[in-house]
Amino acid sequence: MNTEITIRRPDDWHLHLRDGAMLKGVLPETARHFARAIIMPNLVPPVVTGEQAGAYRERILAALPEGMAFEPLMTLYLTEGTEPADVAAAAASGLVKAVKLYPAGATTNSHSGVRDLAKVMPVLEKMAEIGLPLCTHGEVTTAEVDIFDREAVFIDTVLDPLRRRLPDLRVVMEHITTKEGVEYAAEGGETLGATITTHHLIINRNHILVGGIKPHYYCLPVAKREHHRLALRKAATSGSPRYFLGTDSAPHVDALKEHACGCAGCFTATNTMPLLAHVFEEEGALDKLEAFASLNGPAFYRLPVNEARMRLVKHEAAQVFPAKIFTEAGPVTVFDPGFPVHWAVEA
């Protein structure tokens, strides 16, 4: 039985840091383990221009504790007013690594998102031309589609037609949650990648609903049936270059999670790597953890892999993770997997 594994330092290819006091409180939880992260732009107001992305990057670096090394990889929030020239200039400068598509109303702070894909086609055409990835929140938001079917319908009615129209457009299917998402990504070729979160490898919809509503397991896309979770685990642990880690770690203060209309998001930055070691060991795939967490993402984004290493050690005693982290914005509950975890990051 393996009790230790060393991998290249991982990256997080989908991360929410928020801003202000929350940013200052949660950033160290990511920077402790991850070298880089794709930073989500759904602030209020959203990050829609290269100038705004540059300013947000400076705020992130200013909040980084002394002695920590971390590189924020910035994105732009796609709106129906986004200018192709601004996107191209931000990409050419090296500042912006991707553009994020939120269907309007799909998730937290997505009300400024896209309602009519035709209105952003000039931007998408420019992105296909220059090789800039499009990160998609892959759900439709029409009222007649059940929330558990939104991802599959998005693939059929939005994503696949878009990729047929723009075959050179490089697309990341973010936080896939379904067997259909796994299968579509597997067949997508080199222009398609898919991120998988830590929590979707661990919970299904029963964790949210059985025995009372568990607000700290509520996320968007919402966790699905067990056969979808098993498909995600098989994909993540396969070693396939199509899949890589994007935690979608999404902090909300407890008062907004434990609420009559609670916010969506699981905060996993603190304990993602020990949880992944547990999952990959369960699947007999510890040798594939480095590919998922450290190699496949840089390959898709055409960035070098990290030279630094991380050592994960399995202990006899279960490890104790903090139940909450305390920020000046308020307490944030750390994701609880619901089972003992014996792995820890040692270096």
What is the domain range of residue 64? 12-272
Contact 10, 310 (CB under 8 A): yes
Residues 75, 242: Cα–Cα separation, whole Å = 21
Q: Is residue 337 part of a domain?
A: no
Which residues are CB-neighbours of 35 under 8 A, at least 6 positions away?
9, 10, 11, 69, 70, 71, 306, 308
* Model confidence, pTM: 0.97
Contact 53, 74 (CB under 8 A): yes
- Mean pLDDT (whole number) for 323-342: 98
Contact 216, 229 (CB under 8 A): no
Contact 102, 42 (CB under 8 A): yes
Comparison of pLDDT for 141 and 343, the residue scoring more: 343
Q: Is residue 262 part of a domain?
A: yes
For the segment 109-161, what is each residue's pLDDT rounded down to a tens digit? 666 789 999 999 999 999 999 999 999 999 999 999 999 999 999 999 999 99
For the segment 37-53, what is each residue's pLDDT rounded down to a tens digit? 999 999 999 999 999 99
> pLDDT averaged over the chain?
96
Tokens standing for residue 189: 């070729």
Residue 99: its pLDDT value, please?
A: 98
Q: Is residue 252 part of a domain?
A: yes
For the segment 237-289, what is each residue's pLDDT rounded down to a tens digit? 999 999 999 999 999 999 999 999 999 999 999 999 999 999 999 999 999 99
Comparison of pLDDT for 107 and 310, the residue scoring more: 310
3-state secondary structure the chain: CCCEEEEECCCEEEECCCCHHHHHHHHHHHHCCCCEEEECCCCCCCCCCHHHHHHHHHHHHHHCCCCCCCEEEEEEECCCCCCHHHHHHHHHCCCEEEEEECECCCCCCCCCCECCHHHHHHHHHHHHHHCCCEEEECCCCCCCCCHHHHHHHHHHHHHHHHHHHCCCCCEEEECCCCHHHHHHHHCCCCCEEEEECCHHHCCCHHHHHCCCCCHHHCCCCCCCCHHHHHHHHHHHCCCCCCEEECCCECCCCHHHHCCCCCCCCCCCCCCHHHHHHHHHHHCCCHHHHHHHHHHHHHHHHCCCCCCCEEEEEECCCCCCCCCEEEECCEEEECCCCCCCCCEEECC
- Residue numbers annotated as active site: 248
Residue 112: its pLDDT value, please?
A: 77
Which residues are CB-neighbours of 319 under 8 A, at least 6 positions away?
274, 341, 342, 343, 344
Q: Is residue 300 part of a domain?
A: no
Does the pLDDT of residue 2 top 70, yes or no? no
Q: Is residue 1 part of a domain?
A: no
How many structural domains compose the chain? Answer: 1
User: Which phi and psi (to 5°) does residue 85 adopt?
Assistant: -65, -40
pLDDT band at residue 209 using 50, 70 and 90 as cut-offs: very high
CATH number, domain with residue 78: 3.20.20.140
Residue 1: its pLDDT value, please?
A: 57
Residue 106: its pLDDT value, please?
A: 67
Q: Is residue 125 part of a domain?
A: yes
Q: Is residue 299 part of a domain?
A: no
Q: Is residue 76 part of a domain?
A: yes
pLDDT band at residue 103 using 50, 70 and 90 as cut-offs: confident
Residue 109: its pLDDT value, please?
A: 62
